[in-house]
Chains A and B, each alone.
Chain A
Amino acid sequence: MYQPNLQNIIRKLQEALNNKAIRSFCNKLVKGLFVTKSTRDLSGILSPAALAVFCILLAGCEDPGNVGSRFVGDEADLETKTLPAGAFDLYPENGFSGNLRYMPIGRYDDPLFGEFTAIGILRPSIDTTRVDAPVEGADLFQLRLVFGSQVYGDTTGTASYDIYRLNGTWRGNELRFGDDIPLDESQKIGEFSVEGRDTVTVELDESWVGEYNEFLVSGDDDREERYRQEFPGLAIVPSDGNSKVLFADMRPSDTEDENDMDYVRFVAERDDEEGTVQYQTVFDWGSLNSRSEPDNPDDHLTPVHNSYDYLISLEPDLNEETLGSRNLASVRLMLFQNQDLLESSLPANHVRPGVNQLGIHIIDSENVSERIFSHPPDFIASLDSTDGSYRFDITDRANSVLFNNSNSGDNRFFISLQANGLIYSTLLFNQDAPDEDVRPKIKITAKSVDK
């Protein structure tokens, strides 16, 4: 590391001294100066080129090291301090529950988080390139449900479901946690039971299929718009006694292979000689999610769900005074989950999908949930299972506060989880936790420059 610098100097010197004009001038000068033969010989030894060679030889023998490092100090002037991260605020806005990758259906009474109920709602496409004639007579029209590998609840029990006609219009993109759409429970369209996570094919009632047929064969120009507004679709409702939530695997929005049978489809099975089978994709889907209060909520703990029953925010007090330095090596927001309680609260054979990552969205405007669902998090932290912590590296944010004055608006930190239709929940220690070590906090490591 030393050598290149000195070599630069030597190179400059060499270049200058090897410049033809200067060299010629030097030669003349030396000859003019030292007229005796003997001294002229010596002057040759002292020529600039010889000196440059000497310098290069000397420079080439460097052996850098850290001798004398005691003078720079042993501790590098690093300081660590901890700030409280503030209080969790519950923000009264719900997350979206439609058109996600997975559609939860089922019910599970979680000892920690209360009873969660998910009613899956969906309606088939009216794409006549896939299903090209009315499904009538002896034809069958079925719902083929493919479930993902995750289960929330009792893994050993059998889950039963009834299918009803919905009695109201809806759009998957607008569904939120807690929304309710009335059902026509007077007529069951279908029913099924699932053991484990089997794929299930359910025959649908003729009357509902007939209603669907009207839109399928309609030649009206406003066929699609009317279908959207007038055809309510169907609802998959967990029966009483259901003790698990399954996750139907819907078509990923970015897939191009719509015939892929790994996802939920409607199946038209023709009563013809060839036994023709046609697959209809799902036009719109979502989930009507709700949750009851747990029996004995702990005031020191704040539940966090990716179903976004509500939004949770923090407003840490970040400014030059609280940060204590402008030379920040690390600023980390640390949240802790109650690892022991999460692991010990479920009976045998019951499972709860675990949270492995939390996000932070910094939002300073209204429409918080739209922002969370349409933008990636500003910061992500993975679970450290050794202590149940999530450590967000918010150094860039702190630098922004220091150098861009980014704290001038109402910048709140919203805790976010990946929303893909699966149900994740965790319990975070909040600002009232008796153990100060597990409260939300910000740990700052900085190097002093203002000695």
Chain B
Amino acid sequence: MRCLFFSLLFLMLPLSSYGQESEARSGSAYSSIGLGNPADSFSAGTVGMGLSGVSVHDPYTANSANPALWGVGPYTQGSIVFGLQRYNATDGLESTVYNQFTVNQFQLVLPVVRSRFGISVGFFPTTRSNFDLGVEGSVSPDGEPIDYFNRIQGSGGGSKAELGFGYRLSESLAAGYAASVHFASLNREINTAFDSEAFSNLAYSENISGRALGHRFGLYGRTSDFLRNRDEVSFGASVSLPVTIETERSVSAFRETQNDFSSVDLLPENYDRTGEVQIPLEFNLGLTYNPGPLFNLSLEYQEQLWGQTRYSLDSDQENYLADRSKIGMGAQFHPYRRDGSGGFFSGFKYSAGVTYDTGHLMVEDEQIETLMFHTGLGILSRRTPSSIDLSFQFGFRGTETKNLVKETMWGLKISFNLAEGMFVRSRFQ
């Protein structure tokens, strides 16, 4: 299994380029705004509920939502999550269908001191931009209209490489911190084709890139025998501080001159190529109740202050950004924890959840909301604590009102969760 993990990691590295810098530029029109749509980070064990898992402690799967939980688990954990989404988008006039394959995240948690102090290293997307949009128009430099088709294909987004630790302060309280390097990388291929020989087609590339440091804090607490014997209530919170990324913008194209055909820089020499984009302040709150070992119920609230972030590269797009609130509720059923062997259906972990999200965009006074239903199936290894989690999502985003885009989404995620039995045992204890 250790080999599988590294095989998947090896496989993921080239594919991760498709996840963020994809040449496959079909995706949500909403992701053309700013750095793209926020990429929700789900812990591998709670992806089936559609929750980040900020308050869910699962000793067998890596938690990506709350640094505090890295100090609680006894096992070395690793996870890789892949996703495939299918979108059916319509604006009332026409509709389109597109698919998107993503590498959601990978993470490794090492318990330096078992159930006391652990460190985590991971790579997570923060936003995702993939789109292919075109618009027809005409220009009349001499009175006669000349038709054109302007097409913009975009890819990229934000991501972060994160290193952090969690520390269990007491039996019921843990805290954690993570430092991260945030990367912003947007690529746009613009092509304007004219229906006139007197006009040259304008094809050029715009690239925006930058990086900055980020910080995240987490807190986790739990108490047992809260309402009944052997039950447990846990609380989790995490705060990601806002990140300001200084970006560098370049615009290049191939142009024909009288002497040659070469790549040229389209920005004026004295043009200020720098810009500023921000990843907003984010906080996550979660409450999980375990009435017993077989069942847990979670409630989460997330707030991202996109409305106060800067996107200096395009003031129109910056004006679309709005604060985003997300609330979710989910439950998990663990029949495999029963003593004794059960039937066929007792070998799995079952998850279900629902989330509502106000969205991070406000277009023409319309909030681009998202409602998603989630369900998951965990397939567990008998000999090791590892598992494979499959999850399915279905939901809606946006609205057709005012000719905006309404998207119906289906998704499949698969996470490979590897724990101590098939990974490196801690040697520092």
Contacts and interface: CB of A to CB of B under 8 A. Distances in A.
B200 interface: yes
A67 B384 contact: no
A12 interface: yes
A78 interface: yes
Q: How big is the A interface, by class? A: 35 or more
B64 to A, nearest CB: 23
A416 interface: no
B99 A62 contact: yes
A65 B94 contact: yes
B195 interface: no
Contacts, number: 220
B139 A445 contact: yes
Complex A-B, nearest 4 residue pairs according to Cβ-Cβ distance, in ascending order: A68-B29, A65-B96, A5-B24, A76-B150
Interface string A90-123: 0000000000000000000000000000000000
A80 B139 contact: yes
Contacts of B28: 68
Given A25-B4, A62-B98, A68-B405, A396 B383 contact: no
Interface of A: 1-2, 5-6, 8-10, 12-13, 16, 22, 25-26, 29, 32-36, 38-39, 42-43, 46, 51, 54-55, 58-59, 61-76, 78, 80, 320, 326-330, 332, 378, 391, 393, 395-397, 399-400, 402-404, 406, 443, 445, 447, 449-451
A67 B264 contact: no
A66 B137 contact: no
B96 A16 contact: no
Given A33-B384, A34-B382, A393-B198, A451 B89 contact: no
Nearest to B269: A320
Contacts of B265: 326
A257 to B, nearest CB: 38
A403 B257 contact: yes
A33 B347 CA distance: 12
Contact of A35 (B4, B131, B141, B382): B382
A78 B101 CA distance: 34
B150 A70 contact: no
B117 interface: no
Interface size class on chain B is 35 or more
Interface in B1-53: 1, 3-4, 7, 11, 14-15, 18, 22-26, 28-30, 32-33
Given A67-B94, A68-B89, A391-B198, A399 B256 contact: yes
Nearest to B259: A404
Most buried by A among B94, B141, B314, B347: B141
Contacts of B196: 330
Interface in B131-149: 131-135, 137, 139, 141-142, 148
A72 B32 contact: yes
Contacts of B98: 2, 62-64
A67 B382 CA distance: 48
B97 A61 contact: yes
B389 to A, nearest CB: 11
B260 to A, nearest CB: 8
B402 to A, nearest CB: 10
A326 B381 contact: no
Contact of A449 (B14, B204, B379): B204
B106 to A, nearest CB: 16
B200 A330 contact: yes
Contacts of B141: 80, 330, 443, 445
Most interface-central of B265, B344, B386, B390 (chain A CB within 10 A): B344
Given A6-B99, A63-B96, A69-B29, 13 more contacts: A10-B101, A25-B7, A29-B1, A32-B383, A68-B29, A68-B133, A68-B405, A69-B134, A72-B32, A76-B139, A327-B202, A399-B256, A450-B267
B306 to A, nearest CB: 16
Interface in B229-253: 251, 253
A396 B258 contact: yes
Given A42-B379, A80-B141, A55 B84 contact: yes
A39 B379 contact: yes
B255 A29 contact: no
